[in-house]
Amino acid sequence: MTDFNNVELPGSLFDHVNLGGAQFRSVYLTEATFRSVDFSRVTMRGVDLIDVDIHGEVENLVINGVDVTPLIEAELDRRHPERIKMRPTDADGFREAWRILDHLWEGTMKRARSMAPEQLHQRVDGEWSFIETLRHLSYATDCWVYRAILGEMSPWDPLDLPHDEAADGPEFSPDRNAAPTLDTVLALRHSRSAAVRSFIEQLTENQLDSENAVEGPGWPPPGNYRVRTCLRVVLNEEWQHRLYAERDFEILVAH
């Protein structure tokens, strides 16, 4: 174990570093950036959280003795009333959620077609471009519907884009930096969306709680997965990434 005492490390890059169990005392993290960082079971005391912007999965977050997670969830539901529908409990609820997503994405796609082609490849604050976002959603569908539900061992398209931290595997894009046109990536997306829509339209209550065995290398890793869980992952991916896209469109238009 290495100790860092009275060391100046401003501007340092920590990439794929394991700091589990580390202790931070009198550490200055002002203007630091964290991406894809796991803060599970972290304890913070004597912390200044001022002008902090956090986007991510939040659960059991206690600040000054108050679990703020329910407050955050309630506010997000207030801002986006359709968000409540993204937590379906039965087959009809999943069908309704997918129809809502279809409608919302229609507006986002219409907006994308009004943008300059180069803007659709432009990243904002290091986040995925719109084209990359669509590639990732194809990847999510291939993982959680084609592989985990429909049983295809290796369903990935060459344009599929895994998350940035993904290790090399059979689903890893041969060209992460590919720059397909909007029409090209939309053709892929439409085929994937049609498969999800077809499955959900025929979904039964018994299917929701059934488990499918995933085999072979790739994501998700081998194991048993409930259909309900897999579909909830897809709904969450579709919901969140559309919001990210709309957020970035606002910034691109403003500039």
The pTM for the full model equals 0.87
What is the crossing angle of helices 91-113 and 227-254, to 10°? Answer: 20
What distance in Å separates the CA atoms of residue 17 and residue 38, rounded to the nearest whole number? 11
CB contact set of 77 (below 8 Å; sequence gap of 6+):
83, 84
- The per-residue b/e assignment along 2-31, b for 16 or more CB within 10 angstroms, e otherwise, is eeeeeeeeeeeeeeeeeeeeeeeeeeeeee
pLDDT at 55: 86
Q: What number is the average pLDDT over the span 100-107?
A: 97
pLDDT tens per residue, range 69-87: 999 999 999 999 999 999 9
pLDDT at 173: 72
pLDDT at 166: 67
Res. 135: pLDDT tops 80: yes
pLDDT at 194: 95
pLDDT tens per residue, range 140-186: 999 999 999 999 999 999 999 998 776 667 777 777 888 999 999 99
CA atoms lying within 13 Å on the CB side of residue 188: 24
pLDDT at 247: 95
CB contact set of 56 (below 8 Å; sequence gap of 6+):
none
CATH of domain 88-254: 1.20.120.450
pLDDT tens per residue, range 190-247: 999 999 999 999 999 999 999 999 999 999 999 999 999 999 999 999 999 999 999 9
Strands 211-214 and 66-67: unpaired
